[in-house]
Chain A
Amino acid sequence: MSKSYFDETHCAIGHPKSTFMQWMLTIDHKRIGLMYAAVMFTFFFVAVSTAFLMRLELLAPGSQYIDGDTFNQAFTLHGVIMIFLFIIPGVPAVLGNIVMPLMIGAKDVSFPRLNWFTFWLYITGTIVALASLFTDAGFADTGWTFYAPYSINTSTNVIFTLVAAFILGMASILTGLNFLVTIHRLRAPGMTFWKMPLFVWGIYATAWIQLLATPVVGITLVLAIMEKYFGIGIFDPAKGGDPVLFEHLFWIYSHPAVYLMILPAFGIMSEIIPVFSRREIFGYRAIALSSASIAGIGYLVWGHHLYTSGMADTAKVIFSFLTFFVAIPTGIKFYDWVATMYKGKIILSTPMLWALGTIITFTIGGLTGVTIAMIGVDIHLQDTYYTVAHFHYAMLGGVVFLFFAGLHYWFPLVSGKMYNETQAKIAFYLQFVGFNLLWFPMFIAGYYGMPRRYFDYLPEFQIYHQVSFVGAVIFITGLTYMFVVFFKGWRSGEPSGTNPWNATTLEWHMPSSPPPLENHSKVPYVDFNPYEYHHGEPVVKFDYETMKRID
């Protein structure tokens, strides 16, 4: 059997003999992506547990298991882990790293050593973030947004979290930079921008946001540290500063950041839909350009987080108007996906199920987002469970669902094995039902005025919290089961072969499964579109030894 990337690797320093050190020092993009996945999903489960703790506390009004201060720390921990440790690096660091170079026919990313360094920078960030859990002052209780002046005045260890967010931001910038150069420089000969798979387009748009928005939040966090520990006064009203300025600077990054999360996820959707419909994607250029325009417009909408902050009315109207604009390219994408499926030969494998589920959940998440982009409605719904539900429908029901879709889709590529499809589908249905049961009642509770981040509530809201709790139990069951299915597939799955889905993009044209160390045996010449199907069969065929076309 030929050697795969599990058997051999290039290292950043020297040629270590031990397998452990080979993994620690590896510069192979596939191994680095796998390590990201391992770390990220560990933290993901920590954050899920924190969320479940909050659900448990909210099962009945009044204090059950934890006090209010602990609850504040719990939602901060949940937010910080989910946002900074999981979902922002998420799809690019894991699937972007593993799949993107394969898709463009490159041997690795442009700066493999920088990639290695970035991974360890990320690890450093996670350690700093969680270190404060074990200090006397305890974890930050500010929420993941660190709003001034509370973050300036609280006695909890905000500095750890701020420094960690800065380091993780650096890691994010470097990942984006690496991918930008890779996509510009290392595409296989013949592959123009219009021949790139749409996942690569998603990663490309994301990389620009990572590069152009993250420095702003980086410096904002530095300024917040300067404010808290050196009293420079710019965010503290007691010293002449303006706390709303912090909100502006924070959201200038953090709103584009949600597009940074969703764009690569949309890229996954654009891969899965044509493959499992056995049809060329409808509106390739429209989808590619809508990614770019979401990235562009997403930059100009941050003010919709500040409707209740006392911002000028003119600014509110402009921000509201611009926010509606984001819905247009997003809508274009969804119509294109649906149009791709029209008259297609739809195969309901697990990745496709996840993608279809996401079309439902993200549509709810997206449209509720449009409602709270309206100023009048938002004044009523700001900081209620409605916003929380919208956010989770878009992020969990959009980004994470598609992330899971991508995991199912590329699992055979990465491991060379196949998970049990039936069991994976059961896991999907459990999570889909649990998810909707968990979050949908929150729309109603929020509409009736249940405020977010409260650890107590009026008895009339109890029914919604109880339904949510049941949903949470089902969802977490499905989630755990899904990872059990993955684990079993990894340990004892059937060998999948190089192209189990009959897909067309380059990452499925490997000489062996799992792929060898330096990817394709030869770099192919790309003179075809990414999704060419004819009568439900892939058009382009390769001799995997010479990478010459044989169709």
Chain B
Amino acid sequence: MSHEYVPEIAVDREGNEHEVQGWQDDFYGGKLGFWLFMFTEVLMFGAMFMVLAYYNTLHPQDFLDASASLNRLLGGTNTVILLVSALTMGLGLLKMRVGDVKGAKLMIVATIILATAFLVIKGFEWNAEYKHGVFLLHDKLLVGTPDSLPFGQKLFFGMYFTMTGLHGFHIMIGIGLMIWLLKRINAGKVSQDHHILFWNIALYWDIVHLIWVFVFPYYYMIGADGIQMSDFSMIFGGATNGH
């Protein structure tokens, strides 16, 4: 594929020439395709939010109680991390478009580090929840055990682990994509003039952080009312259920 692609010319009956768009070198086609793909992601998470909203209307108090027991310090930190990572990714794309390849690579590495930090913090969070007996197929989320949670809280946590898990999976894919992107840049396949791959991975990363921007308030913030400031000092105090 090293040779340059030359678009064909179609001639109408008056002899006017019209450039033919080929599938090769179609920047807008590539962008359109990826936007459409991102739309499917929105629909997937949208359906899960619908399920969540449905059970929220059935068990409003349980949802507030369950949400109150989540760790807002860790969740909030992760939100900030992800927002900053979206910024670094965007800056990387801007740098690539003005031809600053080294700066772009630096920004991608920064994004990878931030994404990894997100996963590590998420890991601590899940671990703490596990220790408190709140985990899928475990202790408080089982039915009929002495300390099993009420239905509403169980459903909340079931969806919480599903959605944050699926979101974490997207973060992992994102890290893989960014490492691949670095390799492509090093190989000279992604450059100032040919950066559709960079563009699309940046778009992917934007969707991933955008989904989190909705996940965070729905899980962490709806029960934030009435939380004492002192709770924030307990870094691993998540998932305690004092009610």
Chain A residues packing against B (C-beta within 8 Å)? 106-112, 114, 173, 177-178, 180-182, 184-186, 188-190, 211-212, 214-216, 218-220, 222-223, 226, 230-234, 238-242, 245, 249, 252, 522-525, 527, 547-549
Q: 20 more A-B contacts (CB under 8 A) besides A110-B23, A527-B12?
A: A108-B23, A110-B29, A111-B23, A185-B26, A186-B22, A186-B23, A188-B10, A190-B10, A211-B39, A215-B40, A215-B44, A215-B47, A216-B43, A223-B48, A226-B158, A232-B158, A233-B154, A234-B55, A234-B159, A240-B151
| From A177, A219, A527, residue with most partner B Cβ within 10 Å | A219
Q: Tell me the B5-23 residues at the A interface (CB within 8 Å).
A: 8, 10-13, 18-23
Judging by beta carbons under 8 Å apart, are B28 and A523 in contact?
A: no
Taking a contact as CB atoms closer than 8 A, the residue among A214, A218, A245 that contacts B54 in the complex is: A245
Judging by beta carbons under 8 Å apart, are B154 and A239 in contact?
A: yes
Judging by beta carbons under 8 Å apart, are B11 and A525 in contact?
A: yes
Q: How far is the CA of A177 from the CA of B35 in the complex (A)?
A: 10
Residues of B in contact (CB 8 Å), total: 43
Residues of chain A within 8 A of B39, CB atoms compared? 211-212
Q: Tell me the B34-71 residues at the A interface (CB within 8 Å).
A: 36-37, 39-41, 43-45, 47-48, 51, 54-55
Judging by beta carbons under 8 Å apart, are B40 and A214 in contact?
A: yes
Known A111-B33, A522-B10, A523-B8: A185·B28 in contact at CB below 8 Å? yes
Residues of chain A within 8 A of B29, CB atoms compared? 110-111, 181, 184-186
Residues of chain A within 8 A of B155, CB atoms compared? 232-234, 239-241
* Nearest neighbor of B20 in chain A, beta-carbon distance: A523
Judging by beta carbons under 8 Å apart, are B18 and A181 in contact?
A: no
Residues of chain A within 8 A of B22, CB atoms compared? 107, 186
Taking a contact as CB atoms closer than 8 A, the residue among B8, B51, B158 that contacts A249 in the complex is: B51
Q: List 27 A-B contacts (CB under 8 A).
A: A107-B22, A108-B23, A110-B33, A111-B29, A173-B40, A177-B33, A177-B36, A177-B40, A181-B36, A184-B29, A186-B21, A188-B20, A190-B12, A211-B40, A219-B43, A226-B158, A231-B142, A232-B136, A234-B158, A238-B143, A239-B154, A240-B155, A522-B8, A522-B10, A523-B8, A525-B11, A548-B13
Known A108-B23, A188-B10, A232-B161: A525·B48 in contact at CB below 8 Å? no
Q: How far is the CA of A234 from the CA of B8 in the complex (A)?
A: 55
Instruction: Provide the main secondary structure of the chain B interface.
Output: helix
Residues of chain A within 8 A of B44, CB atoms compared? 215-216, 218-219
Residues of chain B within 8 A of A230, CB atoms compared? 136-137, 158, 161-162
A215 to chain B, nearest CB (A): 4
Q: How far is the CA of A226 from the CA of B48 in the complex (A)?
A: 12
B152 located at the interface, meaning its Cβ lies under 8 Å from any Cβ of chain A in the complex:
yes
B32 located at the interface, meaning its Cβ lies under 8 Å from any Cβ of chain A in the complex:
yes
Q: How far is the CA of A182 from the CA of B11 in the complex (A)?
A: 21
